[in-house]
Copies of this chain bind each other. A is one copy, B any other.
Amino acid sequence: MRALSKLVVFGVGLIGGSFSLALKRADAVSEAVGIGRDEANLEIARRVGIAQRTYTIAQPWQHELGDAALVLLAVPVGQMAGVFAQIAPHLGRETVVTDAGSTKRDVILAARAALARTLPRFVPAHPIAGTEHSGAGAAFESLYDGRNVILTPLAETHEDAVALVEACWAACGAHVSRLDAARHDALFAAVSHLPHALAFALVGALAARPDRDEYFRYAAGGFRDFTRLAASHPEMWRDICLANRDALRAELADYGAELARIDLLLERADGSALAAYFAAARDARAAWLATHSTDGDV
């Protein structure tokens, strides 16, 4: 790809910061500007080379957008609508806009409401990567190596805008694919949002007990792995769960029915059906791991 003349990143954290660092590693960007809420974090972003200029959201950053080749929104999905509204009047004629949100229908809805004539140059995207850490100091250039990035273009999205975003993510080392936005949200409700909710619920159920210390005392490695997702950022996951709540509630209902099936096997003390159920799950997971072992986080 031809190097981007200018990248502007809203939300200079792990995701947005690593995107900029990965593009710089590939010599795929000339100039990077970072905009965020916290000056201390922006200072780190400048120091580690994520951006040469930064602005807090309250400072005048609007003049940076007119000649930007690409604007990335890497803020929590609950803040996307506000950022779209703020940037819309200032985007250049050639500027492509993309995002890194974990849900896609709600981000598209917000973009439709705010972007108007710029909408065909908006490319919704979801990089499947992350760590438990956040902030500019947690960003690193190899975060996206070998990870999946999913684009969910609209019917009206210009193909050259999609191609640009695709080339950027490929330059970051990622595998890029495309999905329908509603299908994306349904799939991730099942494989990501539901497991997060389940992990929060398990810890939440124990933490609410008066004798919780005794439970936690005997919790061990299996519990630690199972609940690792409950270490995730509460506000980020509130946003994701609300943004995708219809799909997540459908998955919660489906999962409840699955637990009822297991409960019935326990009630009947049906050992052979229970062992067959566990074996099928183990085998399905082993088959998945055998083909997807290089996949990334969250």
Give me the interface of A with B, judged by CB distance under 8 Å.
Answer: 78, 128, 148, 150, 187-188, 190-192, 194-207, 212, 214-232, 234-235, 237-239, 241-242, 245, 248-249, 252-256, 258-259, 262-263, 266-267, 269, 271, 274-282, 284-286, 288-289, 292, 295-298
Most chain B Cβ neighbours within 10 Å, of A187, A195, A212: A195
Closest CB-CB distance, A78 to chain B, in whole Å?
8
Q: Is the CB of B202 within 8 A of A226?
A: no
Also in contact, A242 and B271, with CB within 8 A (given A203-B281, A224-B289, A231-B282): yes
Also in contact, A204 and B281, with CB within 8 A (given A220-B128, A222-B196, A286-B231): yes
Number of copies of this protein chain within its complex: 2
Shortest 3 CB-CB contacts between residues of A and residues of B:
A207-B284, A234-B278, A221-B297
Q: Is the CB of B292 within 8 A of A219?
A: yes
Closest CB-CB distance, A143 to chain B, in whole Å?
12
Q: Is the CB of B204 within 8 A of A128?
A: no
Q: Is the CB of A237 within 8 A of B278?
A: yes
- Once the chains are docked, how many angstroms separate the CA of A266 from the CA of B197? 11
Q: Is the CB of B238 within 8 A of A203?
A: no
Also in contact, A266 and B285, with CB within 8 A (given A195-B223, A202-B194): no
